[in-house]
Amino acid sequence: MYEFWKITPGGNPTILLRAEDFPRNMRAQAAGAVMSDQHIGAEQVGYVRLSGRPRLDMMGGEFCLNATRSFAVLLAQEGLLAGNGHEYSGSVEVSGVPGDVAVHVRLEPDQLPFAEACLHFASLPVPETLPEQGRLLRIPGIIHIVQEGSVPSQDKLPLFCERQRKTCGVAAEEAVGHLWLSGLKKDGDNAEAELYPVVWVRDTATLCRESACGSGTLACALALHHSLHVTRCAIRQPSGFQLSVRMEHRPEGWDVWVGGPVRMTAHGRTDLTGLLPSGHTL
């Protein structure tokens, strides 16, 4: 029986497992097993180290802002972040990102936790123009393709995304997000929009229509900053929740915070008997 946490950061249900329970060469297969709707069910899996320096490794070695926000809430609830009243802060190591990621959590009675994660940039990434319509953003640990227009139907989506990755020259990357942005509104320094994200992870060979995407939200905000010069965005996710982005310019560069609600959906132990190769013992 293996301890797990199922956390929903404004959509994008995420399962966190203890890193010490799973050798690296078994993590992709274990992730595929627990993500199944015949098991716990989720859109992604991360492996966490709670002792010593907190660390999160995603199932394919990619970076995920929503999983980082989920991890931050777990750390706050376990008393592993510095606290001041209802506010908790600290930093964590995350796969796909060099250096630490700053996190901030607000825990108030009778309210969902609110969690933010911050990426620091010496200068903000500039969107790359694509051969076809859209823009490409290189975020640490993942590449996103931001586009407008209609999302392909479910049966055509895998082939569309595969062709798009090849056309954009990113088919060998660890993870690629295919993002559709719509309903754009601008008011001064603020922008609002709706996001439809699909994320492909190479090592798990998964293409997931996500109910929320934190790094995709960041990529969209960076694209909107470049085209509209906004520094604050509210991006509605397929789940119906909004994720917020705020960009803060400092002498040493830019801090970009992505935040939103996080629900601790379930915590317990799970049995993986029969879900890993015959004869294998974790």
* Same domain assignment for residues 174 and 74: no
* Same domain assignment for residues 92 and 161: no
Q: How far apart are CA 7 and CA 244, in angstroms?
A: 19
Residue 194: partners with Cβ closer than 8 Å, 6 or more residues away: 181, 182, 183, 235, 236
* Same domain assignment for residues 79 and 179: no
Q: What domain range is 73 assigned to?
A: 2-121+263-270
Dump pLDDT digits (tens) for 102-159. Answer: 999 999 999 999 999 999 999 999 999 987 779 999 988 899 999 988 899 999 999 9
Dihedral sign of CA atoms 141, 20, 28, 220 in order? negative
* Same domain assignment for residues 89 and 188: no
For residue 31, being part of any structural domain is answered with: yes
Dump pLDDT digits (tens) for 62-99. Answer: 889 999 999 999 999 999 999 999 999 999 999 999 88
